[in-house]
Structure 1
Amino acid sequence: MSQCIKELSLDDRPREKLMQQGAAGLSNSELLAILIRTGTHKRSALRIAEDLTAADGLYQNIACVHSVAELARIKGLGTAKAATILAALELGKRVAAAKRQEKFKVASPQNGAELLLPRLRYERQEKFLVVLLDSKNQVLRIEQVSEGSVNSSVVHPREVFAPALLYHAAAILVAHNHPSGDPKPSCEDKELTQSLAETGVIMGIPLVDHLVIGDGIFFSFREHGYLDK
């Protein structure tokens, strides 16, 4: 039987440790234990959290989960605890992506990746987003164009440029994720990029870049010479 959190010294209890040292001073398992709150008869909340975050489990067991039912299947968690964890994860993603979008300027592929990595990195299905930009390359809004299967997302230029026309965008940046974690573009990605670039020229709404988001890394079509500088 693992030691109950209440049996730990005050300095070792996650909640008290957070109040004394701040959240940055806690390990992944300690932060998760605060959300779990209580354990089972045989396993403390901290022990459950340690098991879930061991060997990159934070990403495999937590960050990649998208439903309460899926998370609640983990031994030691119920629907209430799973909902709390899922809510915290979603808030974290939103905070990470919460640039002041109307003021955030996409001046480089890295800027675009900073904006979109938190939103797309852990998605299990391929999602295609269009970022609408003003004449200064500042973000007006972000629209999801499509959501596909694990391997592909069907996108047509008219779906990409429809929100650009609706919100009077001066230019667009598009992005999609590869659930495999490898951002290397496929032949279909290259063909779509060319089609969008050509459509943008005709419509007077240039394609600034197409980013493929992987697991913490990204591929920029502009950076690799697929789009005119």
Structure 2
Amino acid sequence: MLKELHVRMKDIPKQDRPRERLINKGASHLSDQELLAIVIGSGTREESVHDLAIRLYQHFDGIELLREATLEELVQLKGIGEVKAVSILAAIELGNRMGRFKKTDRYVIRCPEDGANYVMEDMRLLKQEHFICLFLDTKNQVIHQQTIFIGSLNASISHPREIFREAIKRSCASIVCLHNHPSGVRLYS
């Protein structure tokens, strides 16, 4: 009688494991089965997580039918308990929501007053100085607002590094920087 040989994840060189490949190369470099293996998390005593992911993928003839799987259908597969089934369904739902996500109409900054009006209601009653940046796309639409620094009653110190880090992360085309004067005194230099 021949015994099947199952490759365990710890027997695979570290750089070839799905998690490490995702970290080093990005999620787009992984197969559907490898992504499933990451979502599932672990295999069983008899089957590695990679083999379990392949079997799950084949059972549903790929991701299209897996997308429609129910909790009951998933737990019927050997090695997929309720916890793993819930993780799979949560990942599928998250993917579905991302696919349906539509950007809403965004506020457009055409002049300095537009920027002030965008934040005025939120900033007018603050008791400390806040340094806020609006990050804009190529159409001058606000794509993100972030408080970069909260200061004292009459001072707010910020570093360009903090502003540009967020600007690069958001791939913005323009930045509008604003701050309030809770003391009511405006100093000009």
Question: What TM-score results when the alignment is normalised by the length of structure 1?
Answer: 0.41
Larger radius of gyration: 2
